[in-house]
A and B are shown apart, each in its own frame.
Chain A
Amino acid sequence: MANRGEIAVRIIRAAHEAGLATVAVYSDADRTALHVRGAHQAVRLGPPPPRESYLSIPAVLAAARLSGADAVHPGYGFLSENADFAAAVEAAGLIFVGPPPAAMEAMGDKVPARRAVAALGVPIVPGAEIEDASDALALAAAASRVGFPLLVKASAGGGGKGMRTVTRLEDLAEAVQRASSEAVTAFGDGTVFLERFVTGPRHVEIQVLADDHGHVVALGERECSVQRRHQKVIEESPSCALTPALRRTMEQAAITIARACGYRSAGTVEFLVGAGGGFYFLEMNTRIQVEHPITEVRFRVDLVGEQLRIAQGLPISFGDAVPVPEGHAIEARICAEDADAGFLPSTGRLGAVQLPGGPGIRCDGHVVAGQEITLHYDNLLLKLVVHAADRPRAITRMKRALHEVRLPGVTTNLPLLLRTLDDPRFMAGAYDTSILEGSAPSAPRAEDIVPVVAAALALHRRAPATQPPPAPGSATGGLSPWVRAGREGWGRP
């Protein structure tokens, strides 16, 4: 596994169920991480910074050689969508558990991918390419073709990096410049393009699986509109935004795209669904997605297991006969961050971790007591997945399960997750990507004395020796007669 965290643990689980031996790689920060403990072998990559460890192609290839591995699973993030890495893995005589490098390249850059997909007759969000970001006249002309509000997007982008919303022409040049410079830093490529801002947008993606035996199948959708800073927080399947007919059309579009680029393994085609029900291709993610478990529980498939089968040259276990999905699934991403302080990442040492259980619950995580949560890596701690007969029951189950989670030692987004599940727009299924904007905790209420008593008892417990003895001869001590009278009930009707 050329990865860490929960996805490395997830791959280990699939591999061990398939009878495959596993090799973990780790940075110095992850020496005792769960994926290192769980694998059969473990090889050190280097110091904690990703560039010197999980993003270092030479270090990962050396680890594969040293351990005698014959396949590399890249997980998500890090090197997973790096076509050069996939090519280097294959050149080293190893199997890359993912699509062919050519398919990754075709879908990797958004500008060429948009062109290719439009040529297949799949709708794309109206937009304009930018030849020269410093040509103000050409920029204004492109913007007027697209119309305001619009999005400036990095061609190599993802995860919200290199993206800006622009509502006025005056702000365009600055936004283009900033998005481009962000993209250079994050992806090494400053190419940006303009895209119309779809109002009331919902982010809906289709899961595809393809093998070397001619099977290309779609496994329904995932609704990923609950986002903060363009990063997903809560996902669900099915989506309230799709009719059966729209679902079939989008699945067919996803299959067409996957076939056209010669896809193999698990992949995801992301679409934007507008308030009017129109859908537009956004991008294809040529890897396993974070939110893949909600598809797995509804379709009773193991997508990572299928990836491993396909990489061995085997057909998809169910061929073309996609299982009929059941019920409703929701995933919540529990992250170490302060959602009420600008989503600042939180660091610390985890105390006594408590994970939820019971019917319909799946926990995909990598958290253990004593673990240091650092700033080096993604702050995702735990993916909580629930499955129930229908959407209302899935929501109550998720709330129940979130109440069971304890991750002492760091600040988490649990309050935000619970607030969102109670949001009337979420409960009605009528929400778009703006749902988290302005989400704030409710104000403290004076009649709620739980925090007051908890704080006092917690502080008191730290210094128990300082407790003075009770006032002699009096159970009520120095309380005023008014308080005593109130307590004893005098004067009450």
Chain B
Amino acid sequence: MKYFVEWAGQTREVEIRLVDGRSRVFVDGAPHEAEVAVAGDDGLLSLLLDGGSWTIATRFEDGHAVLSFHDREVRVRIEDERTRAARLATGGPRQATGRAEVKSVMPGVVKELRVTAGQRVEAGQALLILEAMKMENEIRAPLAGTVEALHVKAGQTIEKGARLATVGPSTS
């Protein structure tokens, strides 16, 4: 699994992968010896990183990790690769052609529809909730306009690349 963490003005990629049965961490592709263990409390983690030892109180809020070290508290924006892909595919910058087909970037189950056909939506507004790999992802409108069509129903299982919705130019 890959994670994207904003730190010191950059987006860093952290990949956590099993190598020979051991969890290995790659930061922007560079390997590091890293391991965490719960230190007696759900939010308190002991991190061993490249031979260094840190105890960090952690909590998550609003897409950010809040990390309390003994001498500093930092708040970093973090998302996993699926969330990022979904965001870039649907909510990210895009040429405004006036009409957009919203497609699924991953297989999953439509958990809930948040809009109805014919409804006006703002750019970034949630169209539906897609459950994939036990995570719920908000699929957002790429541009402001009208929902011309919803191609899926709640509870429907979909494949990667399936058409979810069409958002067209505002009719009003």
- The reply to whether B58 and A446 contact each other, CB–CB distance below 8 Å, is no
Which residues of B are found within 8 Å of A450, using beta-carbon distances?
Answer: 47, 49, 52, 54, 69
- The reply to whether A351 and B55 contact each other, CB–CB distance below 8 Å, is no
- The reply to whether A475 and B19 contact each other, CB–CB distance below 8 Å, is yes
Residues of B64-102 contacting chain A, CB below 8 A: 65, 67-74, 76, 78, 80
Residues of B1-51 contacting chain A, CB below 8 A: 1, 3, 5, 7-10, 12, 14, 16-20, 25-27, 29-32, 34-36, 38-45, 47, 49
Given contacts A446-B7, A455-B3, contact A406 B14 (CB under 8 A): no
> Which of A414, A454, A461, A470 is in CB contact (< 8 Å) with B17?
A470
- The reply to whether A451 and B76 contact each other, CB–CB distance below 8 Å, is yes
- The reply to whether B44 and A455 contact each other, CB–CB distance below 8 Å, is no
| Bound CA span A451–B20, Å | 26
- By beta carbon, the residue of chain B nearest A399 is B71
| Bound CA span A453–B45, Å | 12
- The reply to whether A466 and B133 contact each other, CB–CB distance below 8 Å, is yes
| Bound CA span A486–B40, Å | 38
| Bound CA span A451–B47, Å | 10
Say yes or no: is A411 at the interface (Cβ < 8 Å to chain B): yes
Given contacts A351-B57, A450-B47, A453-B25, contact A467 B8 (CB under 8 A): no
A-B pairs with beta carbons under 8 A, tally: 160
Say yes or no: is A465 at the interface (Cβ < 8 Å to chain B): yes
- By beta carbon, the residue of chain A nearest B76 is A455
The interface bits of chain A over 457-485 (1 if a CB of B lies within 8 angstroms of the residue's CB, else 0) are 11111110111111000010101100100
Say yes or no: is B117 at the interface (Cβ < 8 Å to chain A): no
Which residues of A are found within 8 Å of B47, using beta-carbon distances?
Answer: 450, 453-454, 457
Given contacts A453-B27, A459-B80, contact A351 B18 (CB under 8 A): no
| Bound CA span A454–B135, Å | 21
Chain A nearest Cβ from B91, distance in angstroms: 20
- The reply to whether A451 and B67 contact each other, CB–CB distance below 8 Å, is yes
Say yes or no: is B160 at the interface (Cβ < 8 Å to chain A): no
Say yes or no: is A452 at the interface (Cβ < 8 Å to chain B): yes
The interface bits of chain A over 429-464 (1 if a CB of B lies within 8 angstroms of the residue's CB, else 0) are 000000000000101111011111111111111110
Say yes or no: is B56 at the interface (Cβ < 8 Å to chain A): yes
- The reply to whether A456 and B8 contact each other, CB–CB distance below 8 Å, is no
Given contacts A406-B70, A444-B7, A446-B8, contact A456 B25 (CB under 8 A): yes
Which residues of A are found within 8 Å of B133, using beta-carbon distances?
Answer: 466
| Bound CA span A403–B53, Å | 13
Given contacts A403-B70, A459-B78, A480-B29, contact A352 B52 (CB under 8 A): no
Say yes or no: is A402 at the interface (Cβ < 8 Å to chain B): yes
> Which of B3, B20, B71, B73 is in CB contact (< 8 Å) with A456?
B3
Chain B nearest Cβ from A255, distance in angstroms: 42
Which residues of B are found within 8 Å of A441, using beta-carbon distances?
Answer: 72
Given contacts A406-B44, A457-B34, contact A414 B70 (CB under 8 A): yes
> Which of B10, B12, B45 is in CB contact (< 8 Å) with A458?
B45
- The reply to whether B56 and A351 contact each other, CB–CB distance below 8 Å, is no
- The reply to whether A451 and B74 contact each other, CB–CB distance below 8 Å, is yes
> Which of B1, B55, B58, B76 is in CB contact (< 8 Å) with A452?
B76
For this complex, 29 residue pairs linking A to B, each with C-beta atoms less than 8 Å apart, are: A403-B71, A411-B68, A414-B70, A415-B73, A418-B71, A441-B72, A444-B8, A446-B9, A449-B49, A450-B47, A452-B5, A454-B47, A454-B65, A455-B14, A455-B65, A456-B14, A457-B34, A458-B36, A459-B80, A460-B3, A461-B36, A461-B45, A463-B80, A463-B135, A466-B80, A477-B17, A487-B29, A487-B30, A487-B31
A interface with B by C-beta (< 8 Å): 338, 340, 351-352, 369, 402-409, 411-412, 414-415, 418-419, 441, 443-446, 448-463, 465-470, 475, 477, 479-480, 483, 486-487
The 7 closest A-B pairs by CB, nearest first: A352-B41, A408-B57, A483-B29, A456-B14, A455-B65, A456-B3, A351-B41
Q: 15 new A-B pairs (CB below 8 Å) besides A369-B41, A444-B8?
A: A351-B44, A402-B70, A405-B70, A418-B70, A418-B71, A446-B8, A451-B74, A454-B36, A454-B56, A456-B78, A458-B58, A460-B3, A465-B134, A466-B1, A480-B29
